[in-house]
Amino acid sequence: MSKKQDEVVETTEAQIAVHWKEEDYYYPSTKFIAQANLTDEGIFDRFSLDNFPDYYTEFAELLTWYKYWDEVLDSSDAPCYKWFKGGKLNASYNCIDRHLKDNKNKTAIHFVPELEEENVQHITYQELYVRVNEFAALLRDTAKLKRGDRVTIHMPMSAELPITMLACARLGVIHSVVFGGFSASASADRIVDSQSRVLIVTDAYYRAGKLLNHKFNADEAVQIAEEQGQTVDTVLVWQRYPGKYSSDTPMVEGRDIFVNEKLKDYYGARVEPEQMLSEDPLFLMYTSGTTGKPKGCQHGTGGYLAYVTAMSKYIQDIHPEDVYWCMADIGWITGHSFIVYGPLALCASSVIFEGVPTYPDAGRSWRIAQELDVNIFHTAPTAIRALRKLGPDEPAKYNYHFKHMTTVGEPIEPAVWKWYESAVGKGEAIIVDTYWQTETGGFLCSTVPGLNPMKPGSAGPGVPGIHPIIYDDEGHEVEKPGIAGNICIQNPWPGMFQTIWGDRDRFVDTYFGMYNTKPDSKDWKDWPYLTGDAATMSEDGYYRVLGRIDDVINVSGHRLGTKEIESASLVVEEVAEAAVVPVNHEIKGKEPDLYIALKPGIDATDELAAKISEAVCEQIGKIARPRKVWLVPDMPKTRSGKIMRRVLGAISNKGDVGNVMTLANPEVVEEIKNMVEK
């Protein structure tokens, strides 16, 4: 790992965040505390390591079980853990059926279309129950899906997306949702890796005022998957406007089915929820890592659902009467945990917004908040920065009142935090800065809103039950406050992913290889979890996350692997070598800069640079579009031939390249500098 760190660019988020000065506390209002779900200070004692793992039964008891568990934690296959072993439950039952008796008439989902002239759809728990059952019957009888099968879902933000996920969960089918903005090729990779024979899509959706043809991606994805040996025999197509096809891509006879038409055959169908084992997988969520191939994080049923329900209750502080809006995309883990599973398990009303928060103007988000009377708001620093830049005074024009707000996904600058607090929160809302990952299912660090004061720029202590520790590269604990090291979690927790789909070795290696010294140990104490982030702890036990220690870039809160972008550019025939470095960006946090060395004899032209940029978008998605493709005469290299990304990163960020005289080709640094600084 320490070797790998040499290659990491100098201008990481770490360098920025570590220089933020320690801020003063902000305290929650007495009004907030009076209604908070968690005000018992005893929680931290109860959830101390001495009481591990039994304290997690408090979380599991928030759910309804067909059969109680025999054992809270089975670590006999460490670090692949089984939580609430022997227990049986169904996630769809917990998110829907159990609320019907008292709350069937309550709104489960407010779907807000992007077009303001279209009505908001308010879907009650009863309606959700009916639609999930009918669709589950279709999945079972038409698509022939059964317990344990995997299905790939490539859909935009819509009410049909959680309906699809919950229908899968009802049958015990493992869903793998691909972010709607990802390309056909990214969808194909996930189809192949998860061995899905069914793909579920939407024909079209609105984004920044345009109705985008989405069905087109399905055809391409199926074709690419086929070339890689995975046949998709059924494509289920939801219609953005039921009864009307909004795409000009033809339907394929014998393979493609309009869901809305087919559902007529299932009118009134009810499907008994499968009684799943707690450790049965609920879903896969692919995320970027240090190699080109995204990894399928496998999340279990009982542990995951218990964890996100508890986090929604105690950290998001959701009460059944709240209107809760998490502005993330369901195609990411935040949406899975904190739009769908957590809030619905608590019988909350969850808002799903199809569009872009700043479209058609910077007031759009606040109009939605006002109209639906949203009182809990959850978003990412990148959106906060954009809203602040485009309309710093907009929130004051609308009559909404948040009691609670979340920021998640990347470090937030104290200045941006303060604008969020005063302008968006109108000085009335508490803020939680939740630090976590796709792998962790739910929060690792955050303040408990009714118990810990807030501190701009710091996520906070480990949430109850999570015991972080900072290690240096040699595995010694960094005890001194303010000194950066690798943040790890000492104990397993129920929300943690179970493994990487089909690749246990990679799971063990990536997340535990660095600090586990006893590979045969069955004792969880020997398996600290490596997050892959650098962090510092301050005197008060609050953690400040500084950014990734590996080759991952956080663009607008979306995680992209530098290797993934590099290998995407290498499909262009003329490209010999590629190197990606993160560049600071005012709104997005980071953007990728792509350096390319061409094969001998090939001319560097603007057309070629554009072609390479397109190739990246095609293979990953537009979010990966490089800020700039630099066609350089050669890569700066060490004498052993390693590309010096650190030097390129410094050039891109107009920083100091340091001493480059030990490189094999120091002269090229000056050439590249002239090119970039021109």
From 194-202, 317-325, 367-375, 542-550, give the range in contact with ligand WT7 by CB under 6 A: 542-550
**Whole-angstrom Cα distance, residue 530 to residue 79?**
12
Burial of 251 (0-12, 13-18, 19+ CB in 10 A): middle
Residue position matching structure tokens 């990953």:
620
| Nearer Cβ to ligand WT7 (53/442) | 442
User: What is the total count of residues that contact ligand WT7 (CB under 6 A)?
Assistant: 22
Residue pair 150/196 in contact by the 8 Å Cβ criterion: yes
Element (H, E) at 171: helix 160-171
Specify the residue, 523 or 586, whose C-beta has the smaller distance to ligand WT7. Answer: 586
Q: Which residue from 436, 501, 542, 595 is in contact with ligand WT7, where contact means CB under 6 A? A: 436
Neighbouring-strand partners of residue 379: 407
Report how far apart, in Å, the C-alpha atoms of 456 and of each of 407, 416, 424, 460, 556 are: 11, 9, 15, 10, 19
What 3-state class would DSSP assign to 16?
helix
Least distance in Å: CB of 381 to ligand WT7? 8
Question: Is residue 459 a contact residue for ligand WT7 (CB under 6 A)?
Answer: yes
Strand partners, 536: 544
Contact residue for ligand WT7 among 435, 493, 515, 543 (CB under 6 A): 435
Tokens representing 131?
A: 């639609």
Per CB under 6 A, does 438 bind ligand WT7? yes
Helices (H) and strands (E) in the chain, counts: 23, 30
Query: What is residue 245's three-state secondary structure?
Result: coil
Q: Is residue 286 a contact point for ligand WT7 (CB under 6 A)?
A: no
What the block records as the tokens of 133 is: 């059952």
Q: Measured from the CB of residue 557, what is the shortest distance to ligand WT7 in angstroms? A: 6
State how far the Cα of 566 lies from the Cα of 354, in Å rounded to an integer.
Answer: 31
Q: Which of 113, 296, 342, 411 binds ligand WT7 (CB under 6 A)?
A: 411
Please report whether residue 405 would count as binding ligand WT7 according to CB under 6 A. no
Near ligand WT7 in 177-206, by CB under 6 A: none
Q: What are phi and psi of 364, to 5 degrees?
A: -55, -50
Binding of ligand WT7 by 410 (CB under 6 A): yes
Residues 308-347, one symbol each (x = binds ligand WT7 by CB under 6 A, - = not), give: -------------------------xx-------------
Nearer to ligand WT7, 322 or 410 (CB): 410
One-letter amino acid of 248: D
Q: Which stretch binds ligand WT7 (CB under 6 A): 142-150, 269-277, 525-533, 639-647?
A: 525-533
Yes or no: say if 99 and 348 are a contact pair by the CB < 8 Å rule: no
Our finding on whether 409 is near ligand WT7 (CB under 6 A) is yes
Of these, 145, 263, 408, 423, which contacts ligand WT7 (CB under 6 A)?
Answer: 408
Binds ligand WT7 (CB under 6 A): choice among 289, 532, 561, 626: 532
* Stretch binding ligand WT7 (CB under 6 A), from 29-37, 177-185, 433-441, 596-604: 433-441
Which of 150, 154, 403, 548 touches ligand WT7 (CB under 6 A)?
548
**Residue 486 touches ligand WT7, criterion: CB under 6 A:** no
Q: Is 379 in the site for ligand WT7 (CB under 6 A)?
A: no
Alpha carbon distance 78, 528 (integer Å):
11
Angle at which helices 606-619 and 562-569 cross, to 10°: 120
Q: Is 413 in the site for ligand WT7 (CB under 6 A)?
A: no
Binding characters for ligand WT7, 552-571, by CB under 6 A (x = yes)? --x----x------------
Closest alpha carbon to 149 in 191, 179, 185, 91 = 191
- Max distance between CA atoms of the chain, in angstroms, equals 75
- DSSP-assigned letters across all residues of 203-236: SEEEETTEEEE-HHHHHHHHHHHHHTT----EEE
The reply to whether 545 sits near ligand WT7 by the rule CB under 6 A is yes
| 287 binds ligand WT7 per the rule CB under 6 A | yes
In this complex, which beta carbon is closest to ligand WT7, that of residue 124 or of residue 556? Answer: 556
Tokens of 26: 């902000």
Tokens of 455: 């501190």
- The span of 76-84, 237-245, 423-431, 531-539 binding ligand WT7 (CB under 6 A) equals 531-539
Please tell me whether residue 514 binds ligand WT7 under the rule CB under 6 A: no
Residue 434 in the binding site for ligand WT7 (CB under 6 A): yes
CA distance 335 to 427: 26
β 430-434/404-408 pair status: parallel
Q: Note whether 164 binds ligand WT7 by CB under 6 A.
A: no
Per rule CB under 6 A, is residue 420 in the interface with ligand WT7?
A: no
Q: Which spans of this chain sit near ligand WT7 (rule: CB under 6 A)?
A: 287, 333-334, 408-411, 433-438, 459, 531-533, 545, 547-548, 554, 559
